[in-house]
């Protein structure tokens, strides 16, 4: 896989924390940062997808009334939640 080098300044306490985590996990700091960036990018992509899906539902008038949503949420604490 082709790679690129990114240079970023982070607060010293964060850099120290990353260093400690890397040592504890017997991994390089690069690996720890790469994993964190991958998780962040994946989460942001998923959030964008969910936002676009929600906007499409609104455009298509696929909505749920507020009262129905509140009743559903309140039912989550019961022994037999409504679906």
- Residues 6+ away with beta carbon under 8 Å from 29: 18, 19, 22
82: in domain: no
81: in domain: no
For residue 41, report the phi and psi dihedrals to the nearest 5 degrees: -65, -40
Give the model's pLDDT for residue 60.
Answer: 97
64: in domain: yes
7: in domain: no
56: in domain: yes
43: in domain: yes
User: What is the tens place of the pLDDT at every residue in 23-81?
Assistant: 999 999 999 999 999 999 999 999 999 999 999 999 999 999 999 999 999 889 877 65
- Going by C-alpha positions, the residue among 42, 74, 69, 71 that lies closest to residue 50 is 42
Domain count, the chain: 1
6: in domain: no
Q: What is the pTM of this model?
A: 0.73
- Residues 6+ away with beta carbon under 8 Å from 24: none
2: in domain: no
| Domain assignment of residue 16, given as a range | 12-75
Give the model's pLDDT for residue 48.
Answer: 98
């Amino acid at each position: 896989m082709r790679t690129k080098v990114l240079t970023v300044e982070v607060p010293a306490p964060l850099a120290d924390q990353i260093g400690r985590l890397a040592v504890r996990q017997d991994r390089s700091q690069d690996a720890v940062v790469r994993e964190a960036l991958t998780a962040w990018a994946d989460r942001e992509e998923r959030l964008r997808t969910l936002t676009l899906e929600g906007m499409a539902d609104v455009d298509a008038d696929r909505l749920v009334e507020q009262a129905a949503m509140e009743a559903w949420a309140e039912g989550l604490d019961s022994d037999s939640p409504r679906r």
